[in-house]
Amino acid sequence: MSDVPFGFGLPDRDPERRGESDGPGGTGPGGVGPGGTGPSANDPFGLGALFGGMGGTGFGGPGGGDPSQLLGGMPLFAELQKLMNYSGGPVNWDLARQGAISQLAPGHQPTSAAERAAVAESLRLADLWLDQVTELPSGIDRGLAWSRVEWVEQTLPAWSALIDPLAERVVAAMTSALPAEAAQIAGPLAGIMGQMGGVMFGAQVGQALAKLADEVTTSTEVGLPLGPKGAGVLVPQNVTAFGAGLDRPEDEVRLFLALREAAHQRLFAHVPWLRQQLTDAVHAYARGIHVDPEAIQRGLDEAMSGMEGGLDPQDPESIQRLLGSGVLEPEETPEQAMALRRLETLLALVEGWVDTIVAAAAAERLPGHSALAETMRRRRASGGPAEQTFATLVGLHLRPRRARDASTVWGAMAQKYGPAERDRLWSHPDLLPTSDDLDEPLDFVTRQGAADPFAELTEGPDPRDDREDGDSTEGPTPQG
């Protein structure tokens, strides 16, 4: 398996994406897949490096894998000592921060006073425009301009809350699944995996954060709010890069991205359950990570019988070969598939809503809106920050079509019932379109006019209602 992000998910889950080639040698966005360019191209978080066979990016395995390179070029022996001595949490966040900043240092550009003032003004104007197209109030009480390094430092708490449970579950699943019969031979492996996990995860996460920091333009572009509460954030260096070649004034590009940031902030500030449901979907996937002990036993027997000299727990190369054999590879469960479906739907609904209200606010005011919106769509289709994040966290390849379907829902709702009714769908998760609804977005919109979709939640069922089952009107089902 050569494209298993984080070592958690399974590749080519979406049949629509199989065989796609959006980049050199790729089978997905930006050249992801066999023939790609290693962890920096298709596995930015790259936690598969801990379990070489799972991600294909293990020590010396296909697509990457020299740990001395991942850990800053330090000698392998010194790094192995760190692996054995590390006793912190599932991810060494100090190492992640140091690794990310060291990679960003050569191109680091601190923000200037002029950039900070321009960002604050753009966010202020963006909020004024959005006030006219949505009843959700502003979610921003201050505007901030971050450098790439500041983006890494300021978002670490949010990443920790999201990634720690995933990393912890991966290590637990791998170590607990070792069969008792193999314990005498492979027992020391469990201890090594637990000890090395924090440092290896820290190194890989640092590499991933550096890659994302090179691209993100706001604090919400990955699909989650990563900055402090109430802070609207732009990354001026990346705003400039986003507008390169578009032949649009930089203040216009900045205002377009400020509109998107302000729209995201409104949604996350005033839909209190949204952030938690997105995080819960990621963690629900993690809880389903499971490895079949019997399959591991068979794999161990086959792998060790084919290993020259057998397994020597004191020999890192021997352990590497075992990990690279794929015997610890998990299988996706129906529960995990459901969690991913819910996650994709929520992310698409957020992105579609943002696209819709930004278009409503900017289409008549911002001359370059069409070109800028098309650039954003192409960015997502080729693997933007959000696509990279969730591909590497849980192997979820976000489909651009899903965001378009969600935009259709939000646009049609506003046209048919008005912006207030459109935004009221965010008042409860059960009112939102499901994945099946997004398959037929206009049918969902039509059904909203058949009855009051909020009555059952606000008033409860009418005890006098003795309608036949076939004539009853049911509200949308929960996500997933």
The pLDDT, as a whole number, for residue 324 is 54
What pLDDT does residue 12 have? 43
By the 8 A CB rule, do 401 and 10 touch?
Answer: no
- Of the pLDDT bands very low, low, confident and very high (cuts 50, 70, 90), residue 431 is very high
Q: Span 124-137, mean pLDDT?
A: 97
Q: Does 166 or 133 have the greater pLDDT score?
A: 133
> What gap in Å lies between CA 150 and CA 61, rounded to an integer?
33
Counting Cβ atoms within 10 Å, is residue 130 exposed (0-12), middle (13-18) or buried (19+)?
buried
Average pLDDT of span 74-84: 56
Q: What is the pLDDT of residues 434-460, one digit of tens each?
A: 999 999 999 999 999 765 545 555 455
pLDDT of residue 22: 41
What's the pLDDT score for residue 110? 96
Q: Give the pair of three-digit tokens for residue 137.
A: 């109030």
- pLDDT tens readout for residues 14-26: 444 444 434 433 4
Average pLDDT across the chain, whole number:
77
User: What's the confidence (pLDDT) of residue 326?
Assistant: 54
Average pLDDT over residues 226-240: 97
For CA atoms 392, 284, 159, 49, the dihedral sign is negative
Over the stretch 241-292, which tens digit does the pLDDT of each residue have? 999 989 999 999 999 999 999 999 999 999 999 999 999 999 999 888 876 6
Q: How far is CA 134 from the centre of its chain?
A: 27
* pLDDT at residue 422 in the model: 97
**Cα distance between residue 166 and residue 49, in whole Å:** 15
Averaged pLDDT, 168-183: 66
Confidence of residue 86 (pLDDT cuts 50, 70, 90): low
What is the per-residue pLDDT across 192-205, written as a single tens digit (0 to 9) for each? 655 667 778 888 89
Residue positions counted in the chain: 480
Residue 428 clears pLDDT 70, i.e. is over it: yes
- Closest-CA residue to 412 (of 429, 433, 430): 433
pLDDT at position 375 is 95
- Mean pLDDT lowest for which of 72-86, 109-123, 126-140, 399-413? 72-86
For the stretch 368-425, pLDDT in tens is 999 999 999 999 999 999 999 998 888 888 999 999 999 999 999 999 999 999 999 9
